[in-house]
Chains A and B, each alone.
Chain A
Amino acid sequence: MSDKNSQSVSYVRETFLEQSPPPLKEAGVVKWMRENLFSGWANSLLTIVAIYFVVNIIIDVWPWFANGVWNTKSLAECREILQGANAACFSVLQERGNQMLFGIAYPADQYWRPTLGFVLLFIAAGPVLFNKLPKQMLYFSAAYPFLAFWLIWGGTILTPIMIALGLIAGYYAFTNVERLKGFALGVVAGVAAATVCVWLGGFISGALPGLIALEVIPSRDMGGFMLNMILGTICVSLSLPLGILLALGRQSDLPIIKGICVVFIEFIRGVPLITLLFVASVVLAYFFPPGTNLDLILRVIIMITMFSAAYIAEVIRGGLAALPRGQYEAGDSLGLDYAQNMRLIILPQALKISIPGIVNVAVGLFKDTTLVSVISMFDLVGAIRGPILGSTDWTGVYWEAFGFAALLFFVICYGISQYSQWLERQLRTDHR
């Protein structure tokens, strides 16, 4: 308290009362248990039954887990060691773990490449997911897709660089033409510039296939959990912007755009994902001119992206509908144009409302990437079901192998879910 103040004010409190602690509601474990576990005979009964089940499960599973065998060459050897005891044979993870992670065909001496890509993914995702990190890191995030492509598929580094340059050229063409000639021509100019640059760049990277090159690994050799991660990451990050566009398109006043979006969303939502995947693997080839051999992974990515974009669009539409009309009108009356209004006012609020729904779709999508095993791609589940369980050494290690798969998926999905809850808390500004 400053002197000046205490002179001009007749009474100023100089010493503050000591803060008294808030009343202790949860005083002691016993009280907590009485309130939460044993309040009334019905609750007590339920508690006891639940404890009985949990304890039983632990008693059964723990020795199976703890006595697991880790160092054998086959299931038969395992059984010999265990002599009929109830225990796991984790040797399959030791022996075939790398195949579960990277697929059957990915060359073992190149495992470091997807591993590095996986680690860098976290660095790239950081500044996108947490806005407290320095903004400069976003440059790395922008470069990451190209870097990851080069790491996983290999070839000369010129290929991704040329594609990146093409996109940058397209972006510049778009912004410059859009300012002068309007949005539609801007898009045309952007696409044209990007195509030309990528096409020309193709000659350059074609001429120098050995420049800073990694061993080329074809798409059909991708597999294991790596394939699930590739599909999941790419499809989630593509389907979110696509879903936003579809949702906005569905709300549009322009009948043609609205019509296209409605038909697309309703059609895609009405078809099972498996069907779309079969279309990707077999039928889609008919739509392209003979000779063009669109990469199978690319086709699958297109299908899964379209599928989840349709769902995300509907989730976001719900968020848009939840906003009062006054929010649109306030932006309009301040003179913001449509794009600014959407970007600065409507979408931030609509997306915030939609977070639980979007995360729901994202988690579902990530798990649905295992469906590619039905079109004979050996993702984590496909690799276990096919080559690993199919080999004479390991037929019958269901619990261990699928338990491992479940664990991997659970870690990622639980992480996404925790992140989204954290994000919702961060964005809570309405103080309702």
Chain B
Amino acid sequence: MAEAQMKISDEVAIEIKNMNKWYGTFHVLRDIDLTVQRGERIVICGPSGSGKSTLIRCINALEEHQAGQITVDGTLLSSDLKNIDTIRKEVGMCFQHFNLFPHLTILENLTLAPIWVRKTPKKEAEETAMHYLGKVKIPDQANKYPGQLSGGQQQRVAIARSLCMKPRIMLFDEPTSALDPEMIKEVLDTMIELAEEGMTMLCVTHEMGFARQVANRVIFMDAGQIVEQNEPEEFFNNPKSERTQLFLSQILGH
């Protein structure tokens, strides 16, 4: 592994302080404190319903938090639309169900946001798009529609689509859990490559092999709280809390 490239700087990329969120009266996230340095690769795991998706969706304001502070790249996330727009431009996101735009070709999917949000000239945007399609190894599909691609290809297109906005932070919400086993690897390979290039990444995933290989920190969440966080080796070999042990024995046990 290219350890040299996977350097973590002292610069703070995301700072979450004492964040709380409710869905109606249901308290989903409790007192979340989390600081992410630039270049960190963080894997978030935990049982279903523990609030993992909600946490990373708060970071790019897809969900609103009700208490506490989130600062992304020095911009404080508030209800101010300007700040939200600034943050979304810097933060890319990949979803479990890819969420490609079915009415646009792959190339149009990739160039849409650069053209309209970044005001990149069309030609330049298409060159960038082809560059990233090359990186995710499907440049020959540029003129097809999403519906004509396999799941793994679609997820790689989705990653490329986010990358075209040249984000400084990438969020992944279970990017492989809607995929057939033989397609998971191709998506994980893309993500590993991205990590090696020094992208700051927050990944909700249950791919523990991926966590061991690229993560520098694993976070375990349960019932809306961060229960434990540690380096992957420590985390998997010496889980401290009982809940973590139980969770790990369940997902690694079989």
Contact = CB atoms under 8 A, between A and B. Distances in A.
B97 interface: yes
B236 interface: no
A25 B229 CA distance: 66
B60 interface: yes
A427 interface: yes
Contact of A333 (B92, B104, B112, B147): B92
Given A326-B95, A431-B145, A431-B148, A335 B62 contact: no
A432 B103 CA distance: 12
Contacts of B102: 349, 429-430
Contacts of A337: 81, 85
Contacts of B89: 335
Interface string A311-333: 00000000000001011011011
B92 A345 contact: no
Nearest to A345: B101
A334 B101 CA distance: 12
A344 interface: yes
A340 B62 CA distance: 17
A326 B178 CA distance: 14
A367 interface: no
A326 B100 CA distance: 9
Most buried by A among B95, B100, B116, B165: B116
A333 B93 contact: yes
B162 interface: yes
Nearest to B115: A344
B72 to A, nearest CB: 13
Interface string B50-76: 000000000011100000000000000
B85 A429 contact: no
B103 A429 contact: yes
A334 B93 CA distance: 8
B2 interface: no
B113 A336 contact: yes
B220 to A, nearest CB: 25
A344 B103 CA distance: 10
Contacts of A332: 60-62, 88
Nearest to B87: A335
B145 A334 contact: no
Interface of A is mostly: helix
Given A335-B117, A432-B147, A348 B103 contact: yes
Interface in B217-237: none
A269 interface: no
B99 interface: yes
A431 B145 CA distance: 8
Interface in A293-327: 324, 326-327
Contacts of A333: 60, 62, 88, 91-93, 162
A352 interface: yes
B95 A330 contact: yes
Contacts of A432: 147
A334 B148 contact: no
Interface string B101-129: 11110000000110011000000000000
Size bracket, chain B contacts: 20 to 34
B165 A335 contact: yes
Interface residues of A, number: 22
Nearest to B63: A329
Given A429-B145, A431-B148, A336 B95 contact: no
Contact of B103 (A326, A335, A349): A349
A315 to B, nearest CB: 18
Interface in A415-432: 427, 429-432
Contacts of A431: 145, 147-148
Contacts of A336: 112-113, 116-117
Given A329-B95, A352-B103, A334 B112 contact: yes
Contact of A335 (B85, B95, B99, B148): B85
Contacts of A345: 101, 112
A344 B102 CA distance: 12
B99 A329 contact: yes
A13 to B, nearest CB: 22
A142 to B, nearest CB: 23
Contacts of A348: 103
A352 B101 CA distance: 13
A335 B83 CA distance: 11
A349 B101 CA distance: 9
Contacts of A352: 103
A326 B148 CA distance: 19
Contacts of A324: 97, 99
Given A429-B102, A431-B147, 16 more contacts: A327-B99, A327-B101, A330-B95, A330-B100, A333-B91, A333-B162, A334-B88, A334-B117, A335-B88, A335-B165, A340-B116, A344-B112, A345-B101, A349-B101, A427-B103, A430-B102
8 contacts: A326-B97, A332-B62, A333-B60, A334-B165, A335-B89, A335-B113, A337-B81, A429-B147
Q: Which 8 A-B pairs rank lowest in CB-CB distance, beginning with the nearest? A: A330-B99, A431-B147, A326-B99, A334-B113, A335-B88, A333-B93, A335-B89, A335-B117
